[in-house]
Amino acid sequence: MLPDLDQLKATYLSQIAEADGLDGLDAIRVDALGKKGNISTAMKNLGQLDGDARREAGQALNALKNEIASAIEAKKEELARAALDARLASEQVDVTLSPRPEAEGRIHPLSRTLEEVTAIFAEMGFTVAEGPDIESDFYNFTALNIPPEHPARQEHDTFYLPPDAEGKRKVLRTHTSPVQIRTMEKIEPPIRIIAPGRTYRSDHDATHSPMFHQCEGLVIGKDIHMGHLKGCLIDFCRAFFGVDDLPVRFRPSYFPFTEPSAEVDIGCSREGGGLKIGAGDDWLEILGSGMVNPKVLENCGIDPNEYQGFAFGMGLERIAMLKYGIPDLRPFYDSDLRWMRHYGFMPFDPPSIHLGLGA
């Protein structure tokens, strides 16, 4: 009939007290309270009793069931606490241990220069545009008013790709100017973009690399004139080099895609073999510029009687070398850590640009 409840209680409570892990505790729970456990079975057998005896036994069984269940819960908490105490004791952190030195990276001078150039033009309301490194002859030359057989093509020392099915040869873009065309095809004026990126020419010495970087600029609007070109580029040069009264000179030049064209020089001095940027009796060429040739506007479906604008292009390595006194271009791409430690920038250095242009 009914098991001896006092006996059951004594057995289970002592088993629970002795349990040394959650698995053992669960086995006790199943044995006592599980579907086929002793208490559950006894409850099922209550039906065999009658009247008062059944009620009494039912109450006693319920009480026992609750007592065992809460003893199991309490033991569970005790085990969890003990496990945590053991972990805390074994995983102590020794705060007196000296820290392991962390390898610290550097920002490449070219990345830094690009950040600075972008920040200066962003202040003037420019956004950044992009184009592909592999260009069609049309975008790199023809649309920029450099027709086939034009001598400018030879000057570019172009890398050509093998001809495609139609016999057309793509090129590695020789300048960022094709992004002018792509931008004018895509968006309606007014336009105010810069387009930094990789460019390629077959040329290799201390100041030329077959892959290098340029930053293009393009401004198109109804009232844009050469005064805007000059003001924009003077402000840029002074902000970039951090010299408020930097002399800037516009020297007449020729590019097929601008008319008139001007090369931009900044003042410098070369006393005692060292180059110093600022007022002096010498000049350094730093970028090409001009008013967008009406033929180029027409090639892009923009009416030159309604719109005009200016464009410019500069070599990023060149301005980085001038600003940071880096004498040779080749180590830019050598990934030599000694060079990076010398010429690179700490990640959290604020960029040394002088914002608040026109101030």
**Considering the complex, what minimum distance in angstroms separates the CB of residue 135 from ligand PHE?**
13
| Range in contact with ligand PHE (rule: CB under 6 A) among 29-37, 222-230, 264-272, 311-319 | 311-319
| Residue 139 within binding range of ligand PHE, rule CB under 6 A | no
Taking the complex as a whole, how short is the minimal distance between the CB of residue 216 and ligand PHE, in angstroms?
Answer: 6
* Least distance from ligand PHE to the Cβ atom of residue 106, Å: 29
Task: Point out which span in 59-67, 128-136, 190-198, 306-314 binds ligand PHE (CB under 6 A).
Answer: 306-314
Site string for ligand PHE, 262-301 (x = CB under 6 A): --------------------------xxx-----------
Residue nearer to ligand PHE on the CB measure, 8 or 219? 219
Shortest spacing between CB 206 and ligand PHE, in angstroms: 19
Please report where in the chains the tokens 């805007």 appear, as a residue. 228
313 binds ligand PHE (CB under 6 A): yes
Q: How far is the CB of 109 from ligand PHE (least distance, A)?
A: 21
311 binds ligand PHE (CB under 6 A): yes
Residue 335 CB coordination number (10 Å) = 9
Residue 31 or residue 285: which is nearer to ligand PHE going by CB? Answer: 285
In the stretch 182-201, what mask flags binding to ligand PHE with x, by CB under 6 A? --------------------
- With CB under 6 A as the contact rule, the residue among 200, 212, 236, 255 that binds ligand PHE is 255
Smallest gap from Cβ 157 to ligand PHE, in A, equals 11
Cβ closest to ligand PHE, residue 12 vs residue 126:
126
For residue 143, CA distances in Å to 131, 156, 307 come to: 15, 16, 17
Q: Report the chain's C-alpha Rg in angstroms.
A: 40
- Options 135-143, 147-155, 226-234, 310-318: segment touching ligand PHE (CB under 6 A): 310-318
Residues in the interface with ligand PHE (CB under 6 A) total 11
Applying CB under 6 A, which residues contact ligand PHE? Answer: 175, 177, 216, 255, 258, 288-290, 311-313
